[in-house]
Structure 1
Amino acid sequence: MSKHMFFHREIDQLKDMVITLGTLVEDRLRRACAILETQDEEESRKIMTSDWEVDDMEIRVEEECLKILALHQPVARDLRLIVAVIKINSELERIADIAVNLAKRILTISEKKTSDFVYVLDYQPMAAKIMEMVKTCLDALVTEDAALARQIFLMDDEVNRARDQAYKTVIEEIGRQPADAACLVNLYLIARHLERIGDRATNIAEEIIYLVEGEIVRSSEDP
């Protein structure tokens, strides 16, 4: 096998690896969003203890990128691909970390709430939107579709508005449920975690545009 063919086989393997990581992250995120509705403490603990799988895959992807850089010294679009994958790899791992944080918040609320505590926020529309953002990112990465990646920016605006509304709701509710003020703050922090996942998805979209078009793009609201 020629060096050129070997290089492109390694590139294809790298793409498969980062998509596998994305699938793992999607699964963690889906499970974390589900417990926002069920408040399932057992499932929350399972999410918290399974994070090693994502961490392990993230390390493997990074090591593969560094190996390709060292052995083949890619240039032009191939180099952009490696740079983009390194950054996307990191963003995916952070999304998985935030999914763990969501599980931790649910446990904290369950442990500290009073018997009269009311969950005043419906996270399902916001959770559905950030899951759509992550899926769209992965689809755009597979197809190398910059136009699809740009749709993420509009979705992120919706998520930011939902976060702002969650903040207003929690502030108003603290006056009605003062004994559960700490739990209400944690409710807002859940919305904040979801918004941060949107930020991470936006960063991935920016890297896809860079990969496809060679243009460095930054959205209007970067984390």
Structure 2
Amino acid sequence: MVQNAEHHRNLLNESGLEMLNLCISQIEKATEALLNNDGDLAEDVMNTETRINALDLKIENDCEKFIALYTPVAIDLRFIMAVLKINFDLERIGDHAYDISKYIVDFDKPIEPHLFKNLKFEKMYATIISMFENITIAYEEKDVKSARKVFKKDKILDKINAESFSIIEKEINKDNAIIDQTLLMFAIIKKFERVGDLIKNIAEEIIFYIDAEVIKHKRKK
């Protein structure tokens, strides 16, 4: 029974890591499609959404089966709760990648390069990738220190997001012809900021699972 439970726990852990890597790939591809105005790549992201949804349902069902079969307590129960919540957050990250890709397909024209620079878009993207690296290490190696690194990085995203409106206002005042581009970038920056929040949620769940520490409300005080 114990061996069986351990086997199922390992399978769940592998599925969670697969979901994480898939969602990272979706964000990477959506960003590449945006920077290169690559509609085909954007459509590939949109098509992959069905795979994310299928894996989401599989993980949810496997968690329910684990609870029903083994009645987990203590760290096993925290693990299942964390996997469920992390899976939910990852599925939403996948949704954001889909939405960004749909914007690209619908817009169907390149963004002026200076908008990426002025809005610090590449810094925002690099920060998100760094946060993904932190939670991947934290998840694979049960490394709480890596999980905690995302909190400061998320503040970088918040700052870029907060500054974006005034930058966009200046860009529109300089050139009315790029209103549609600036509005698209504004929407995508909002999506990226939300992805950062979801990564932060995942870090909190990893810390809860490993150390039994609830930090969400501590950080808000």
Question: Which of 36, 39, 49 is residue 41 of structure 1 equivalent to?
Answer: 39
CA deviations over 1:113-155 (Å, ceiling 9, x no partner): 8xxx735123222111112212211210111111110100011
From 4, 9, 16, give the equivalent of 1:11.
Answer: 9
AA aligned to 2:9 is: I
Structure number with higher helix proportion:
2
Query: Post-superposition, which runs of at least 4 consecutive aligned residues in structure 1 deviate over 6 A?
Result: none
Specify the alignment match of 1:97 in structure 2. 95
Alignment of 1:118 with 2:112, yes or no, is yes
Q: What TM-score comes out, normalization by structure 1 length?
A: 0.90
Within 5 Å, which residues of 2 pair with 1:27-176? 27-110=25-108, 118-119=112-113, 120-122=115-117, 123-176=121-174
In structure 2, C-alpha distance between the alignment counterparts of 1:108 and 1:200, rounded to whole Å? 26
How well do the aligned residues superpose, as a CA RMSD in angstroms? 1.7
Contact 2:19 2:90 in 1 (8 A): yes
1:177 Cα shift?
2.6
Matched, 1:183 2:178: no
Query: Any conservation in 2 of the 1:48–1:103 contact (CA below 8 Å)?
Result: yes
- For the residues of structure 2 that align with 1:15 and 1:157, how far apart are their CA atoms? 29
| Counterparts of 2:55 and 2:47, CA distance in 1 | 15
Contact 2:39 2:104 in 1 (8 A): yes
The answer to whether the 8 Å contact 2:116/2:122 transfers is: no
The residue type equivalent to 2:112 in the other structure is: V
> 1:118 corresponds to which letter in structure 2?
E
Residue in 1 that maps onto 2:213: 215
Q: Give the residue type in structure 2 aligned to 1:58.
A: D
CA distance in 2, matches of 1:95, 1:67: 25
Say whether 1:24 aligns with 2:41: no
- Offset of residue 28 of structure 1: 0.9
CA distance in 2, matches of 1:76, 1:163: 39
Question: What SS is found at the alignment partner of 2:18?
Answer: helix
Helix, strand or coil at the partner of 1:51: helix
Percent identity reads 27
| Distance in 1 of aligned mates of 2:112 and 2:12 | 47
Alpha-carbon deviation of 1:24? Answer: 1.1
Can you give the 5+ residue segments of structure 2 that lack an aligned partner in the other structure? none
Q: 127-136 vs 180-189, which deviates more?
A: 180-189
149-158 or 32-41, which deviates more = 32-41
Q: Distance in 2 between matches of 1:121 and 1:168?
A: 15
Runs of 5+ unmatched residues, structure 1: none
Deviation, 1:49, is: 1.7
Taking the aligned partners of 1:195 and 1:208, their CA distance within structure 2 comes to 20
The Cα of 1:181 is off from its aligned counterpart by 2.1
The aligned length equals 215
Q: What residue identity is the alignment partner of 1:54?
A: I
